Amino acid sequence: KGGNAVYFNNPMWPGEAHSLKVEKVLFKDKSDFQEVLVFESATYGKVLVLDGIVQLTEKDECAYQEMIAHLPLCSISSPKNVLVVGGGDGGVLREISRHSSVEVIDICEIDKMVIDVSKKFFPELAVGFEDPRVQLHIGDAAEFLRKSPEGKYDAIIVDSSDPVGPAQALVEKPFFETLARALKPGGILCNMAESMWLHTHLIEDMISICRQTFKSVHYAWSSVPTYPSGVIGFVLCSTEGPAVDFKNPINPIEKLDGAMTHKRELKFYNSDMHRAAFALPTFLKREVGSL
C-alpha cells in the first residue's frame, strides 16, 4: 500500500505493478481460503480483491462476465443445463439468466465469504442468485466434478481465480477430464484463460491439455482494463458430438426472447463483439498453433 492507493504486485505479473486510488476500504477479512478485500475506488466503483488480485470492479465487470457467459451460451442452440465453477459474486449467473432456454444453473463456489460479501456490496452482481433456476453448491469444484453425473451439462463456465491458492487444481489435466465427462455429447466449456501478454505459457499448457481432452479448442479474448495487462482470454472447447461453430453465434443474443429486455441492459456483449473476440494477434497464433 502507498498513500491512498493500493498497489497490486504479484509473481503472476513480475516487474510491474497496478494501482487504483482508494476512497474507502469497505471490508477486509481472511476466509478459510483467501484474503477478501472490498474497497471503493476513485474511478472504477467498488472493487473485489482476493489474495491481492482484482477479481472485478463495478465499472468493467461487464466486459468479463458478459463475454464468459454469452460466448458459450450463444454458440449452441437452446442450452438447458449449465454449470458455473467459481463465480461466487453472481455476475455470471446474472448473465446466464438472460437465456430463457436454460432450466438448471448449478454453481460450485468454494468460498461462502465471497458470496456473502457480494450480496452486501455488489447487489448488481449478486442479483444473479435470485434466479429460481440457480442451485448453489459450496465446495471445491474439483471434488464437485469428480462426483457429477456423466453427460449432465450443455455448457460449463469456469469463472475461477488464478492458479495460485484454491484454484490450483483447476488448471490440471484431471480437472479437464472431469469437465469433459460432465458434458453432454456436443456440450461446451468456456474457461477463463489469463492474459496473452503475460501468460502465454499458461495458455499454451491449457490449450494442449484441452486438445487431449476435447474435440475442438478455440481461444477468444476481451478487454478488461483492471485485469493485469488489460486483457483476459477464454478457452472454448466442445466435446465429441454435433459440431459447434464458436466463431459465428448460432443462438444470437439479439434474437433471444427477453435477453435484451432483461432488467439490466447488456453493456458490452453483442454478436459483433462475439465474432471479433476470436481474432488473434499473429504472435499468439504462432505460439498456440492454429486454432
Interface contacts to ligand AAT, rule CB under 6 A:
50, 53, 55-56, 65, 85-89, 91-92, 108-111, 114, 140-142, 159-162, 166-167, 170, 192, 227, 232
CB-CB contact of 204 with 291 (8 Å)? no
CB of 190 to ligand AAT, least distance (A): 13
Residue 21 in grid coordinates: 486510488
Which residue's CB is nearer to ligand AAT, number 81 or number 222?
Answer: 222
- Give dist(CA 139, CA 136) in Å, integer: 10
Between 165 and 186, name the residue whose CB sits nearer to ligand AAT. Answer: 165
SS3 148: coil
Give the nearest distance from C-beta 185 to ligand AAT in angstroms.
26
In the complex with ligand AAT, the residue whose CB is nearer, 167 or 244, is 167
CA-angle at 95, arms to 42 and 98, nearest 5°: 135
β-pairing, 104-109 with 134-138?
parallel
User: Residue of minimal CB distance from ligand AAT?
Assistant: 86
Write out the three cell numbers for 3: 498513500
Residue 121 CA to residue 47 CA, distance in Å, equals 9
DSSP-assigned states of every residue in 86-109: E-TTSHHHHHHTT-TT--EEEEEE
Nearest distance, CB of residue 26 and ligand AAT, angstroms: 17
217 with 235: CB under 8 angstroms? yes
Q: CB of 138: closest distance to ligand AAT in angstroms?
A: 9
Q: How far apart are CA 67 and CA 73, in angstroms?
A: 10
Query: Phi and psi at residue 270, in whole multiples of 5°?
Result: -155, 175
Annotated catalytic sites, by residue?
159
CB of 250 to ligand AAT, least distance (A): 25
188, 202 Cβ separation under 8 angstroms: no
